[in-house]
Amino acid sequence: MDKIYVNQMEFWGYHGLFPEENKLGQRFYVDLELELDLEPAAQTDDMTKSIDYGAIYEVAKKIVEGKAFHLVESVAEQIAQELFAQFLMLDACLVKVYKPDPPIPGHYKSVAIEIHRSRPS
């Protein structure tokens, strides 16, 4: 399966279990791996047979910078669902959401979750 990658998109969101996260917000990063057949686009040089990278970015931005969720898992799930709703040629997607500054003690670069979803039947 062919893939489109959009990596390290940075957004400001208000997701988390703690009130200060919902009030102050924090950075989130999103990586997307989209699975679809890119052969028709490659053979014809026709953008309508692929998915516009800017449109992919806007989907992630709308979710991360929109409604606040308690769980980053919910953010990732919403991104996947919206991608399937907007891009009918999408067969599957991997969504990884990083939360670099969660309010937990310790030294680490980030926490992240990753989900893989296939188009609902």
Residue 39 Cα distances to 43, 53, 57, 95, angstroms:
6, 17, 22, 23
The full DSSP string for 5-73 is EEEEEEEEE--SSSHHHHHH-EEEEEEEEEEE--HHHHHHT-GGGS--HHHHHHHHHHHHTSS--S-HH
- Interatomic CA distance for residues 26 and 46, integer angstroms: 38
Q: Which residues are part of the catalytic machinery? A: 99
Cα–Cα distance between 27 and 12 in angstroms, integer? 5
